[in-house]
Amino acid sequence: MGLLFAIAQVVEKRIQNRTEQSAGNPWIYALSLAVYFTSWTFYGSVGFAASSGMLFLGVYAGSLIGIALWWITLKRMVQAKETFRITSIADFISTRYNRSQKIAAIVTSIALIGIVPYISLQLTAVISSFELITNSPNSGSEHDLAGWLVTMFMIGFTIIFGVRRLDPTERHQGMIAALVAECLVKLIAFSAVGVFVTYTLFDGFGDILARLKDANLEHVVSFTATENSAVMWITLIILSFSAVHNLPRQFHVSVVENSNRNHIKTAMWLFPLYMILINLFVVPIAAAGLLLGMSPDNADFFVLLLPQQAGSSGLTLLAFIGGFSAATGMIIITTMTLSTMASNHIVLPAIERIPKLRFLRSYLLQLRWLVVSLIMVGSLWFSKEFAGSYILVAIGLISFVAVLQFSPALFGGLFWKKGNSLGAFLGLLSGFSIWFYSLVIPTFIKQGWLSTHLLTEGPWQIAMLRPEALFGLEGLHPISHAVFWSMVFNIGCYIIGSIIFSPNKSERNLTAEFISAMTSSTQSKRARPTGLDAYILLPPKLEEARSLLSNYLNDDKAESEVTTIAEDLQVLDKSKITIIELVEFHRMVEHVLAGSIGAASAHKAIENTIRYNHKEESDLKALYSHIVTELQTTEKESSSDSQSGTTGYGLIEDLQTQIDDLEDMVSSQQKQITTLESKLESRYEEVFKYRIESQKTKQDNALLRAELKQIFGNREDGSFSGDDDEEESKNT
């Protein structure tokens, strides 16, 4: 633990002392991706192989296919990240679909529900392995102390090196350095145990294979050791293909932490090499444990038990440290990413909707620390509450199926221009619902929380709706069954929703910009050339942006960011700026804000706060219309020179149609305003006539009161008073 802190601190200090930010190292980037291999790999692969043979390779076969396509998929994600300041996978998907807060929230919810129990699995592995090598009981004060020590360390490390700044798009080079150290340690530890088992306890691979045949344990090296093995192979390949892209921790290290897209080329060969090396001795270790008479129930911990039983305490300790490294890397990166997603897309929108909580906007960093602590402590509670239960055993693949639900929206957004926000939302919601119903509900039933009648008879005794046999599909493994139906509904709803829904102009424009950013061959620029006359006063615009940023950042940070943006645009010394400079200024303010609160929340904040006056709005419309006209002219000239067809200008025609529709709408609204003004004028005339009549009545009453005083004024009782008439006149 101290070594990890030291490595991270040294790297952070070196980065601070440099005048320029380091462009990173491709080897460091590639090795950091090995956070993909958790304690589930370090311990669980051996257990998987002991029971299901070579089927465990399915978890990595799909990953290798995904890595082979990284120059197509991952490169696009990195380029979009550079342009839109993406902070997480929830931010990426929501930004692609019109910066939808609903989509960001549902992606975050799926990640929290599906991944937090997976963190518990890592904590359980650490605590159980600690108890195993120290021969301590699996309950009581020592159990609690081990769990709390590990959890507190990870909370502190995550906050100090991962969440000490509000902007999660800043690269965490100290944390990544510690992560690389962990990846090397777990590879060295697992390989050391593998070499010891293969060449010390046995006489090489050939000896192990021969003994497996003699002991009738050939299922360990069989590719069809389980029922419906072909279906399970396909299922695991699909899950691992999506996991290497969709897991929140994997997206963070591969996309958010990427400093140079060319580093992907190094990762495309170094990461698969690491994958091969860390799985090289899985089968020998699994076979050795079974050959030496160890219980298959303890197969997950053969990595520890074999050197321990052989009396090699040093190697046992090294194996424990390797497993500890495998777990801590996953926990730290995942918790940091989930805290960013939860604070940006759940906590912040809730604060914005409740006026009494808006003062918390200035404490977003502290709220993020709180979310980190809640995730860690909640995971520890989950691991203790369900230690040894079916839930914790099954949660690994259940979590993979959860993140699989991101795939249609993610890959559809990368390659299908017609994919839109309604399709993405319906796909995610339906896929998540099927996942929960077909996997989580049966898990609760097997835990004893719900009646088994739901599994055997279905809800309301409708057999077609049984959670593990939906619509009569029986005989499949629950994981394969859930993958099939969740993807049928998810992909189906995504495609149908995208086809039937016609997105508005704003979403179409953002989609075109997003696709263009992913397919561009040049690096995104921070400022673009300016054009029109400078007439907009700059100081009020600076103050407006500073006021907006100060709602979410401290005053010094807000002042610094506004000054930096003005310097980048080269307008800091100007008193007036052009309309294009103003638009670009607001775009860069939004990007700064997106780094702290996410693109969807930043866009909403800009939309609710920034205002253009009438002249600025008119100039923007005129400029937009002019650009469209010029592009149409270019298209016509291109068509006359070449009959090869249009090359992407169909969008321009659509934009012009939208302009015409807007002009018609403005004309219609102008007519409505004229009609309302006529009605208002008529109403004014009626009020005026009423006031004239009221004044005349008041004068008549005054004359009548004077005459009555003259007639009755000389009476001796003097009982007459004009007060009643006066009051009546006032009422009139």
Mean pLDDT of the residues in the chain: 81
520-529 residue pLDDT tens: 655 544 433 3
CATH number for 102: 1.20.1730.10
Asked if residues 161 and 177 have their Cβ atoms less than 8 Å apart, the reply is no
Give the lowest-confidence range in 59-63, 353-357, 430-434, 721-725.
721-725
213-246 residue pLDDT tens: 888 888 888 887 677 778 889 999 999 999 999 9
Say yes or no to pLDDT of 695 above 80: yes
- For residues 121-144, give the mean pLDDT: 74
657-690 residue pLDDT tens: 677 677 778 878 888 888 888 888 888 788 888 8
Within this chain, do residues 547 and 486 fall inside the same structural domain, yes or no?
Answer: no
pLDDT-derived band at 208 (thresholds 50, 70, 90) equals: confident
Within this chain, do residues 562 and 654 fall inside the same structural domain, yes or no?
Answer: no
pLDDT-derived band at 484 (thresholds 50, 70, 90) equals: very high
Give the lowest-confidence range in 104-113, 335-344, 418-427, 565-574.
565-574
Say yes or no to pLDDT of 486 above 50: yes
Within this chain, do residues 123 and 246 fall inside the same structural domain, yes or no?
Answer: yes
Within this chain, do residues 409 and 535 fall inside the same structural domain, yes or no?
Answer: no
Q: Is residue 16 part of a domain?
A: no
Q: Is residue 604 part of a domain?
A: yes
pLDDT at position 237 is: 93
Within this chain, do residues 317 and 359 fall inside the same structural domain, yes or no?
Answer: yes
Within this chain, do residues 70 and 165 fall inside the same structural domain, yes or no?
Answer: yes
Closest CA to 154 of 141, 166, 144, 163: 163
Which one of 455, 482, 500 terminates a domain?
500
Within this chain, do residues 117 and 209 fall inside the same structural domain, yes or no?
Answer: yes
Q: Is residue 360 part of a domain?
A: yes
Within this chain, do residues 491 and 535 fall inside the same structural domain, yes or no?
Answer: no
pTM: 0.73
Q: CA–CA separation, 646 vs 657, rounded Å?
A: 17
- For residues 98-120, give the mean pLDDT: 89
Residue 144 structure tokens: 């609690």
590-621 residue pLDDT tens: 888 887 788 778 888 887 888 777 677 767 76
Q: CA–CA separation, 56 vs 256, rounded Å?
A: 29
Within this chain, do residues 169 and 75 fall inside the same structural domain, yes or no?
Answer: yes
Which one of 500, 535, 559 terminates a domain?
500
pLDDT-derived band at 452 (thresholds 50, 70, 90) equals: confident
492-541 residue pLDDT tens: 999 999 999 888 877 887 888 788 778 765 554 443 333 456 778 888 88
Domain count, the chain: 3
Say yes or no to pLDDT of 411 above 90: yes
Q: CA–CA separation, 451 vs 644, rounded Å?
A: 66
pLDDT at position 551 is: 84
Which one of 580, 611, 642 terminates a domain?
611
388-402 residue pLDDT tens: 555 555 677 888 899
Asked if residues 406 and 250 have their Cβ atoms less than 8 Å apart, the reply is no
Q: Is residue 520 part of a domain?
A: no
pLDDT at position 671 is: 83
Q: Is residue 18 part of a domain?
A: no
- For residues 270-277, give the mean pLDDT: 93
Q: CA–CA separation, 675 vs 241, rounded Å?
A: 62
pLDDT-derived band at 257 (thresholds 50, 70, 90) equals: confident
Within this chain, do residues 460 and 580 fall inside the same structural domain, yes or no?
Answer: no
Domain range enclosing 683: 650-713+721-731
Say yes or no to pLDDT of 578 above 60: yes
Within this chain, do residues 496 and 546 fall inside the same structural domain, yes or no?
Answer: no
Q: Is residue 622 part of a domain?
A: no
Q: Is residue 270 part of a domain?
A: yes
Q: Is residue 545 part of a domain?
A: yes
Within this chain, do residues 532 and 677 fall inside the same structural domain, yes or no?
Answer: no
- Angstrom CA distances, 17 to 8, 83, 137, 178, 315, stand at 14, 28, 48, 19, 39
